[in-house]
Amino acid sequence: MSGLALLHSVVPASWAILLAVTLFAIGACGVLLRRNAIIVFASIEMMMNAANVLFVAMADSWDHAAGRIFVFFVIVVAAAEAAVGLGIVLALYRLHGTVDIDRASLMRG
């Protein structure tokens, strides 16, 4: 029995879907409720990882490779988002000495 077949027999797809929904909900709450830019970026990363879990679970459940291929694209987008986002956070911190999102509106003028 291959590793994926063994994993599929041990962990049902419904558990992976429940994990993905839970991770996405926690990430969405972090984005909506927190004002710290680093926490917001970490929450967005958590939401992207939830999408990755769902892609892998469905690809394994349907025995289709497209979901596993999409995971690589999501990882590349997440890496680019982290690089650009952390650059913006660093600029915000250098200008204002804080990473509070509410202070970001002061960067305009």
Query: Which residue did the predictor score with more confidence, 97 or 8?
Result: 97
Q: Which amino acid is at 25?
A: A
Q: What confidence score (pLDDT) does residue 96 get?
A: 79
SS3 content of the chain, % helix, strand, coil (to 5): 85, 0, 15
Q: What is the CA radius of gyration of the chain?
A: 18
**3-state secondary structure (DSSP) of residue 90:** helix
Q: What's the predicted TM-score (pTM) here?
A: 0.77
Q: CA dihedral defined by 18, 19, 21, 22, rounded to 10 degrees?
A: 110
Domains and CATH numbers, the chain: 3-107 (1.10.287.3510)
- Name the pLDDT band for 4 (thresholds 50, 70, 90): low
